[in-house]
């Protein structure tokens, strides 16, 4: 089950004291409505009941998907405190990740629901961001790059966020993904230790320098 509590918040605009609904755990299988709200980007929004202004107010949560066997420990801004330790021993067989930032959370959900390896995807992203894989018509250097979806033809969708928050999209063939999956599986540097690890650009970048 998902678990909810309320936190007092003060509206920065009108100083009205309100209640923010905070879900400490989100169970994707048991609560599809909650999951949909998260993916549709409504879950972390709070509207002041007095002045009706809406704020983006994300909170830390544990996202569990028992069907696709993954657990995400989500930190909205930066990781802090003790790493999450699942009380349920059955979760230890799951893919466990620590994720910082709302769009990184969505990315992980889409990626694991598609049955893809995030290590292979992060390796692909590393090669794209460093210019080893050129994307026609899109400057990817120093940009934010996210996986978005896997198509029916198994092609992989990505989007790049530019300096002015402009978004460009592109697709890559599944054969390229399989090359990176092989690299992820055969190169010992990319073997993941147990526990909630952050698999992101910084993780790949640090290992590439070894």
Q: Which residue lies nearer to Zn ion by CB, 44 or 158?
A: 44
Among 3, 10, 50, 205, contact with Zn ion (rule: CB under 5 A): 50
Q: Does 36 bind Zn ion (CB under 5 A)?
A: no
Among 11, 26, 62, 120, contact with Zn ion (rule: CB under 5 A): 11
Q: Does 46 bind Zn ion (CB under 5 A)?
A: no
Q: What are phi and psi of 15, to 5 degrees?
A: 65, 15
Round to whole Å and give the CA distance between 194 and 121.
19
Q: Which residue lies nearer to Zn ion by CB, 15 or 169?
A: 15
Among 6, 29, 41, 51, contact with Zn ion (rule: CB under 5 A): 51
Q: Does 48 bind Zn ion (CB under 5 A)?
A: yes
Hey, CA dihedral for 37, 39, 44, 45, is it positive or negative? negative
- Segment lying near Zn ion (by CB under 5 A), choices 37-45, 48-56, 117-125, 182-190: 48-56
Among 13, 47, 54, 85, contact with Zn ion (rule: CB under 5 A): 13
Q: Which residue lies nearer to Zn ion by CB, 26 or 48?
A: 48
Least spacing, CB of residue 56 vs Zn ion, in Å: 15
Angle at the Cα of 121 from the Cα atoms of 58 and 124, rounded to 5 degrees = 125
Q: Does 54 bind Zn ion (CB under 5 A)?
A: no
- Segment lying near Zn ion (by CB under 5 A), choices 11-19, 94-102, 142-150, 200-208: 11-19
Residues 106-125 that bind Zn ion (CB under 5 A): none
Round to whole Å and give the CA distance between 64 and 96.
9
Using CB under 5 A as the criterion, which residues of the chain lie in contact with Zn ion when the complex forms?
11, 13-14, 16, 48, 50-51
């Amino acid at each position: 089950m998902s678990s909810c509590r309320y936190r007092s918040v003060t509206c920065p605009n009108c100083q009205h004291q309100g209640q923010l609904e905070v879900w400490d755990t989100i169970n994707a299988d048991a609560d599809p409505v909650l999951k949909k709200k998260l993916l549709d980007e409504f879950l972390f929004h709070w509207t002041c009941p007095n002045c009706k202004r809406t704020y983006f107010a994300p909170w830390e949560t544990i996202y569990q998907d028992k069907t696709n066997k993954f657990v995400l420990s989500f930190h909205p801004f930066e990781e802090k405190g003790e790493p999450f330790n699942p009380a349920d021993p059955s979760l230890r067989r799951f893919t466990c990740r620590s994720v910082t930032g709302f769009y990184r959370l969505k990315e992980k959900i889409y990626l694991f629901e598609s049955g893809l390896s995030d290590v292979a995807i992060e390796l692909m992203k590393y090669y794209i961001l460093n210019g080893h894989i050129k994307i026609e018509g899109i400057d990817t250097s120093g940009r934010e790059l996210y996986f978005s979806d896997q198509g029916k033809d198994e092609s992989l969708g990505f989007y790049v966020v530019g300096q002015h928050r402009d978004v460009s999209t592109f697709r890559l063939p599944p054969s390229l993904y399989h090359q990176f999956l092989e690299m992820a599986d055969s190169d010992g540097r990319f073997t993941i230790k147990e526990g909630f690890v952050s698999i992101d650009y910084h993780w790949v970048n640090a290992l590439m320098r070894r």
